[in-house]
């Protein structure tokens, strides 16, 4: 079984300085390639962030709204899909941290980018087991296709409403554990005035990154343009001749020796908005993703059919992702909130007792030898340093007001 994080490779940057455009349409191009071709012809090259956003979430032709992304038949596999123990450990972490601050109710259990809904389903099974009440579930998900999978797995009933484009969307319902559940397009739509426990697994890596390169004239932004040398619709990277707002605002410090950087302003803005929410209404964030501490240069890549894929090829047909820069997330909320981590997935899951839970399950006579072998290899896949244990990291954020309390009762797993 493969996971996206195992397949990090450098994308080839073909930079030149022409802004030429072409006027033909290719029958073999993806619907999104045709849309992007038209957009660039009218408005000029796109930032890599605008390109990535269109590819991932364009409502009619983007990757998540149209493709079967996750699972053996999709393009990549994530930890919650490997094994139920992953979600159970996350549930134990949430309940432990929530109880530590007095189990405030009502509690909003929020997930960003819930994929097939498997992680939330495993969390809710644990909540149900401990008979936790006063909970509402909130899923931040743009893709209607994904919302449908989530509703199918999680709900005893779900209702439809219309989005801004007047398309029908899953909007609310009741979970099979009897909690009210609602879907939101954006984190700011999750209701205020209640304590929020927020989980984001492989969500931040899908937020759009800008790419900057150091040149003799200063930092310049890498853009996506149409490849005029090709007969078909093809895209290529070019370097902006002039500074852009992003290259002016996000210039790295002089001590940073990198020649290429990726910057994700929407991740920074999200962290700041959550810090504000936690300060005013209470709550915490648990984030799990692959990432680095501000030392990587070029991690923007595509995945299709469990293989690396050129991000500029057939847009909308493959997943796009970039490693999360944890040092940037920390800097974004400096003095506004407390952050912990990143720690490796191996350390986090082991300190939550995944091996103990595995051993209990392995003693269950109701499970076949094959089921036990699958459970064992799943835990190994998630925790072994050479597999997903080292590359995947956990990171958390709490409001400043809990500083003294968390000094006495440290955050589990960090
Ligand atoms: C890589 S998948 C991760 C799914 C799930 N968390 C898991 O680990 O299996 C990314 C998820 O985020 C959603 N997504 C991506 N960009 C989003 C955005 N800007 N707003 C809301 N959801 C988004 C996708 O539709 C998908 O459900």
Helices assigned H by DSSP within 282-367: 326-332, 345-351, 354-362
267 C-alpha vs ligand 1 centroid, how far in Å? 14
C-alpha dist (Å) from residue 127 to 97, 161, 336, 357:
14, 28, 30, 16
Q: Which among 26, 110, 114, 28 has a CA at the least distance from the CA of 64?
A: 114
Contact between residue 70 and residue 79 where contact means Cβ atoms under 8 Å apart? no
Which pLDDT tens digit goes with each residue over 258-309? 999 999 999 999 999 999 999 999 999 999 999 999 999 999 999 999 999 9
What is the rounded average pLDDT of the residues 317-324?
Answer: 97
Contact between residue 63 and residue 320 where contact means Cβ atoms under 8 Å apart? yes
Residue 21, pLDDT above cutoff 50: no
Whose C-alpha lies nearest to ligand 1, atom 4? 115
C-alpha dist (Å) from residue 56 to 111, 205, 274, 303, 304:
18, 11, 23, 12, 13
pLDDT value, residue 7: 35
Q: For the chain, what is the radius of gyration of the CA atoms?
A: 22
308 C-alpha vs ligand 1 centroid, how far in Å? 19
99 C-alpha vs ligand 1 centroid, how far in Å? 28
Exposure string of 271-294, with b = 16+ CB inside 10 Å and e = fewer, is beebbebbeebbbbbbbbbbbbeb
Residue 18, pLDDT above cutoff 50: no
Taking the C-alpha atoms of residue 37 and residue 235, their distance in angstroms, rounded to an integer, is 8
Contact between residue 63 and residue 316 where contact means Cβ atoms under 8 Å apart? yes
The pair of three-digit structure tokens given for residue 338, joined into one six-digit string: 């407390």
What is the rounded average pLDDT of the residues 181-209?
Answer: 97
Pairing verdict, β 135-140 and 155-162: unpaired
Confidence tier at 27 by pLDDT (50, 70, 90): low
Whose C-alpha lies nearest to ligand 1, atom 7? 115
The secondary structure element, H or E, covering residue 100 is: helix 84-100
Taking the C-alpha atoms of residue 414 and residue 411, their distance in angstroms, rounded to an integer, is 6
Protein residues whose CB sits closer than 6 Å to any atom of ligand 1: 56-57, 64, 70, 78, 80-81, 113-115, 119, 140-143, 146, 201-203, 206
Contact between residue 413 and residue 394 where contact means Cβ atoms under 8 Å apart? yes
What is the rounded average pLDDT of the residues 151-173?
Answer: 87
Lowest mean pLDDT among 84-98, 162-176, 183-197, 389-403: 162-176
56 C-alpha vs ligand 1 centroid, how far in Å? 9
Contact between residue 292 and residue 204 where contact means Cβ atoms under 8 Å apart? no
Residue 12, pLDDT above cutoff 60: no
Confidence tier at 230 by pLDDT (50, 70, 90): confident
**Which residues touch 352 (CB under 8 Å, ≥6 apart)?**
89, 92, 93, 412, 413
Peptide bond into 126 cis (omega under 30): no
Helices assigned H by DSSP within 143-289: 144-154, 245-249, 265-281
The pair of three-digit structure tokens given for residue 391, joined into one six-digit string: 């590359």
What is the rounded average pLDDT of the residues 225-230?
Answer: 92
Q: Tell me which of 70, 113, 319 to substitute to probe ligand 1's pocket, judged by most ligand atoms within 8 Å of the beta carbon.
A: 113
Residue 183, pLDDT above cutoff 90: yes
What is the rounded average pLDDT of the residues 244-250?
Answer: 94
**SS3 (DSSP) at 76:** strand
End-to-end Cα, the chain, rounded Å: 28
Residue, of 213 and 74, whose pLDDT is higher: 213
Q: What is the percentage of the chain residues whose pLDDT exceeds 90?
A: 83
Q: Tell me which of 58, 144, 206 to substitute to probe ligand 1's pocket, judged by most ligand atoms within 8 Å of the beta carbon.
A: 206
Taking the C-alpha atoms of residue 137 and residue 194, their distance in angstroms, rounded to an integer, is 12
pLDDT value, residue 11: 26
Residue 47, pLDDT above cutoff 70: yes
């Amino acid at each position: 079984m493969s996971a996206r994080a195992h397949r990090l490779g450098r994308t080839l940057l073909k930079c030149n300085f022409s802004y030429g455009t072409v006027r033909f349409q290719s029958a073999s191009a993806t619907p999104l390639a045709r849309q992007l071709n038209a957009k660039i012809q009218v408005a000029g090259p796109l930032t890599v962030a605008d390109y990535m956003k269109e590819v991932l979430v364009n409502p009619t032709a983007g990757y998540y709204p149209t493709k079967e992304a996750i699972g053996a038949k999709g393009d990549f596999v994530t930890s919650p899909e490997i094994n139920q123990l992953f979600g159970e450990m996350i549930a134990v972490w949430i309940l432990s941290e929530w109880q530590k601050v007095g189990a405030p109710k009502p509690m909003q259990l929020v997930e960003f980018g819930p994929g097939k809904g498997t992680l939330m389903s495993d969390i809710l099974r644990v909540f149900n087991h401990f008979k936790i009440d006063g909970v509402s579930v909130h899923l931040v998900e743009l893709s209607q296709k994904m919302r449908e999978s989530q509703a199918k797995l999680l709900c005893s009933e779900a209702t439809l409403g219309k989005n801004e484009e007047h398309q029908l969307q899953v909007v609310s319902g009741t979970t099979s554990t009897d909690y009210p559940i609602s879907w939101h397009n954006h984190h700011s739509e999750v209701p205020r005035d209640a304590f929020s426990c927020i989980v984001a697994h492989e969500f931040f890596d899908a937020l759009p990154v800008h790419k900057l390169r150091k040149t003799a004239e200063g930092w310049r932004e890498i853009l996506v343009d149409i490849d005029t040398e090709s007969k078909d619709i093809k895209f290529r990277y070019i370097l902006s001749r002039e500074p852009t707002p992003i290259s002016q605002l996000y210039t790295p410090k002089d001590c940073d020796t990198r020649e290429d950087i990726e910057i994700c302003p929407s991740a920074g803005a999200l962290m700041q908005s959550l810090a504000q929410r936690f300060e005013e209404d209470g709550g915490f964030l648990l984030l799990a993703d692959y990432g680095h501490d501000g030392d990587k240069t070029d991690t923007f890549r595509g995945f299709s059919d469990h293989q690396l894929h050129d991000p500029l090829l057939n847009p909308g047909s493959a997943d796009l992702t970039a490693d999360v820069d944890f040092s940037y997330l920390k800097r974004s909320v400096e003095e506004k909130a407390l952050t912990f981590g990143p720690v490796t997935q191996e350390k986090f899951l082991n300190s939550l007792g995944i091996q103990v839970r595995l051993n209990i399950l392995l003693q269950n006579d109701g499970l076949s030898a094959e089921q036990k072998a699958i459970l064992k290899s799943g835990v190994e896949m998630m925790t072994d340093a050479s597999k997903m244990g080292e590359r995947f990291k956990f990171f958390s954020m709490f409001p400043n007001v809990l500083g003294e309390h968390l000094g006495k009762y440290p955050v589990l797993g960090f």
